Structure 1
Amino acid sequence: MKPLAIFGGTFDPIHIGHLSVAWEAAELLDAEVRLMPASVPPHRSPPTASAEQRVGMLRAALCGQSRLTLDTRELNRHGPSYTIDTLYEFRRELGDRPLVLLLGADAFAGLRSWHRWRDLFDVTHIGMINRPGVDACMPVELERTVAPRRTEDLNVIRGQPAGRVIELMVTPLEVSATRIRELLAEGRDPRYLLPAGLFDDPALLAPYRGALMH
């Protein structure tokens, strides 16, 4: 059964680094990938753009293809948005279909700070996104938990609904949303760091134009 992979973030704004990672993960896993913007991230400051504005940018960025899709369910939730709650919701909808949570290596290394992090393995696989030649440094407790769950076999991921960890090596593409916001605030035009569709409608990038960056 083809997995469903979830790629979350603030996407403030969505940029080519996000899209490149999501597309490569879709190919490596032979999966549908849903980009899921977060509403109120528990561990960081609120996004510059509103939820509605970020959805507009995502729709423009994803136009013209069907492998990457948009899921806005977290934007409808009040209060802090915890990943485990969303994943349980997906699991109720998917039955035994394999579910894969895509996480960067740095985020994965900090998994112990997540709300109910051990429960994640009950409802999802984790696809750890890494760059070739880079070894992620993980805390001992996390490595002990993860070690028996590791696999390099896609058939294992496709044959089980949850519980495994697979490392996905993707093309290095260093793009900073913070730097993009700074460039836009300065009146510059970071055209090749953002999806072309975002420049078709000037209103899409308006939240960042002239904004005071902290």
Structure 2
Amino acid sequence: MKTAIFGGSFDPPHLGHIEIAKKALESGIDKIIIMPNYLNPLKHSFSAPPELRLKWLKEIFKDFKNVEVSDFEISQKKPVYSIETIEHFKPDYFIIGSDNLHTLDKWHRINDILKKVEFIVAKRGTVDKNLLSKYNIKKVLDVDIPISSTEIRNCKFEYLPKVIEKEIKEFYGQNCKN
């Protein structure tokens, strides 16, 4: 059974995340573990609290066969390095967005990660082929949803899953100017 971890902040989750999970399953992955982090070790804060992001993800993926939402990192109440999650779950693959390619060299124990898993890159727009080559990444998923969590936090409320759309608009809309 081929398993992949799809980790991230999911601050907030959006239709692009759903599309990534669907495309990964279509590519031959048997099981995906969605892994929201408590706090990304490369960031200093989050907008939505971890428990709320976890709740949203569970709601979004509740009817997905072969997709599990894990609270492994959030339950530790601290930043967790990807290598710790990988060593705990022992997946075959680790799914990242193409924007993460530029920071892989900053990841804790990246060389150990590269020995333990194969990366799958979800691409939005263009992707740096030199970085794909540098990290020996062969699997790339084309994602046609032109949105990012940052844009949603900045009040661009498109591409939201219907099941959590109202909550996300209420939470992030507090900072929008009418």
Matched-pair identity in %: 25
Structure 1 SS opposite 2:120: strand
Deviation, 1:43, is 1.1
* Cα offsets for 1:15-59 (capped at 9, x unmatched): 001110121011102321111101021112322111111111112
Q: Does 1:181 align with 2:174?
A: no
Aligned to 1:3: 2
Amino acid at match of 2:160: L
Deviation, 1:212, is 6.9
Structure 2 SS opposite 1:183: coil
Aligned partner (choices 193, 196, 201) of residue 159 of structure 2: 193
1: CA distance, partners of 2:167 / 2:98:
34
Q: TM-score, normalised by structure 2?
A: 0.85
Bigger radius of gyration among the two: 1
Q: TM-score, normalised by structure 1?
A: 0.72
What aligned pairs does 1:53-202 form with structure 2 within 5 A after superposition? Answer: 53-91=52-90, 99-130=92-123, 134-138=127-131, 143=134, 146=135, 150=136, 165-183=137-155, 190=157, 192-199=158-165, 202=166
Q: CA RMSD in A?
A: 2.6
* Structure 1 contact 130–167 (Cα < 8 Å) conserved: no
* Structure 1 contact 6–100 (Cα < 8 Å) conserved: yes
Q: 1:42 to 1:134 in 2, by over 3 A?
A: closer
Structure 1 SS opposite 2:138: strand
* Structure 1 contact 28–168 (Cα < 8 Å) conserved: no
* Structure 1 contact 84–116 (Cα < 8 Å) conserved: yes
Unaligned runs of 5+ in 2: none
Runs of 4+ in 1 over 3 A off after TM superposition: 130-135, 202-206
What aligned pairs does 1:16-27 form with structure 2 within 5 A after superposition? Answer: 16-27=15-26
1: CA distance, partners of 2:125 / 2:33:
24
Deviation, 1:135, is 4.6
Structure 1 SS opposite 2:139: strand
* Cα offsets for 1:56-104 (capped at 9, x unmatched): 111221132223220110001243221011111112xxxxxx5210122
2: CA distance, partners of 1:132 / 1:48:
25
Alignment coverage as a number of residue pairs: 177
Amino acid at match of 1:76: S
Unaligned runs of 5+ in 1: 92-97, 151-164, 185-189
Q: 1:60 to 1:122 in 2, by over 3 A?
A: same
